[in-house]
Amino acid sequence: MQAVTLASPAPDPRRRSFDASGKLTVALLFLPPAVLLFTIFVMLPIGEAAWYSGYNWNGFGPPRNWVGLDNYRFVFDNRAFGIAFRNNILIIVVSLVVQLPLAMALAIILAETFRGAVALRMLFFLPYILAEIATGLIFSFVYDGDYGLLAAICRLFGVEAPHLLASPQTSMLAILIVVVWKYFGFHMMLFIAALQGLDKNLIEAARIDGATRWQMLRFVILPLLKPAIKLSVFFAIIGSLQLFDLIMPLTRGGPADSSQTIVSFLYNFGVTRMRIGFGSAVGVILFVGCVVFAFSYKRWVLRDE
């Protein structure tokens, strides 16, 4: 108690300068490690990628063959890149239109306390805990047109089982189902946490004023959840842009590049073909896209928080 009273009456100039220099010392002591790590592991690789993207380089030895912006031209000329870009947009749309509303609906139901609510929450959250590669493998078995769970269900109804992952028309559908299945639990948890932090008085007041359940949801709860929703949208979009590890075990971007995402395109066309310059160009494009999105989202959507 005494320490607090000693520290609080402090407005004398000498003391303030001591404070400032103290902060400076702290900054000088604690900032360099973080800046150093950030530079070495974030800024340098990005800079390197940008530099490599100007070369026709197979990854062996130092890059020598400078080609300027050719790699970027090749990327944009590539049909598969167009498909990958379209798929990423599709994943974002499905995340926003299907996954988040589903997560919200479940969150609203499960935020109430009733028997089994916690168990159900855990159950829905489980897919998120599962490693992406494991999820992909599991679903490649589920989707298997000969032996899979889906095939068994189809046979039960006497229908011939589709090979979802083997057709350019359905491969993306199959992947989208897995994406929604895997990540809705995460968003649901975000919403539940936000719901539990809501001011109960406001809800109580709305109820006393005679609001119906729907009105309460529409005019009280959802507006109060806005910050959580904005955050969820942000995660969903960035996550969708970077989707890769689910794609590889399921389809590796095929058939006929129908399920490429930008990152799987980078891997399949850059890394495995030993075209490091080309791959770097894709990386730079993706990075610029993510940064532009992140900053503008922060500037325009998250500005009140």
Partner 1 sequence: MKVLKFLGALTVGSLLSAAASAQTVVRWLHIEPNPGAIRLWEETARDFEAKNPGVKIEMSFLENEAFKARLPTMLQSRDKPHIIYSWAGGVLKAQVEAGVLEEITPQVREHMAGLAPGAVGAFTLNGRIWGVPHAVSQVGFMYNKELMTKAGVDGDAIKTWDAFLDAVRKLKAAGITPIMVGGGDKWPLHFYWTHLAVRLGGKPAFEAALRGENGGFEGPVFQRAGDMMKELVDLQPFQNGFLGTRNPQAVGAFGDGRAAMILAISSFYATQRALSANKEGIPDDKLGWFNFPAVPGGQGLPTDTLGGVNGWLVTKGAPPQAAEFLKHFVSAEVQTRLAAGGFLIPVAKGADTGLRAAFLQNIARNIGASTYHQNFYDQDLGPSVGRVVNDATSELAGGTMNPRQVAKAIQDAFRQGN
Interacting residues with partner 1 (CB under 8 A): 56, 58-61, 74, 145-146, 163, 165-168, 251-252, 254-257, 267, 271-275
Min separation Cβ 59 and partner 1, Å: 5
Reported for 111-119, long-range contacts at CB under 8 A and 24+ positions apart, including other chains, are 111/191, 111/192, 111/195, 111/196
Min separation Cβ 274 and partner 1, Å: 5
∠ CA 59-62-63, rounded to 5°:
70
Min separation Cβ 273 and partner 1, Å: 4
Q: Which is nearer to partner 1, 119 or 134 (CB)?
A: 134
Bond prior to 255 in cis (omega within 30° of 0) = yes
Q: Which is nearer to partner 1, 155 or 273 (CB)?
A: 273
Q: Which is nearer to partner 1, 135 or 268 (CB)?
A: 268
Q: Which is nearer to partner 1, 168 or 289 (CB)?
A: 168
Min separation Cβ 56 and partner 1, Å: 7
Runs of H (alpha helix) within the chain: 2-7, 13-38, 44-52, 70-77, 79-94, 100-110, 117-129, 132-143, 149-156, 171-196, 200-208, 213-216, 222-241, 247-250, 262-265, 276-296
Min separation Cβ 171 and partner 1, Å: 8
Taking every pair of Cα atoms in the chain, the longest distance, rounded to a whole number of angstroms, is 86
Tokens encoding 48: 């390197």
**What is the C-alpha separation between 134 and 128, in angstroms, rounded?**
11
Q: Which is nearer to partner 1, 146 or 305 (CB)?
A: 146
The H or E element spanning position 65 is strand 65-66
Q: Which residues pair with 79 in a beta bridge?
A: none
Min separation Cβ 161 and partner 1, Å: 8
Q: Which is nearer to partner 1, 167 or 242 (CB)?
A: 167
Position 129, amino acid: I
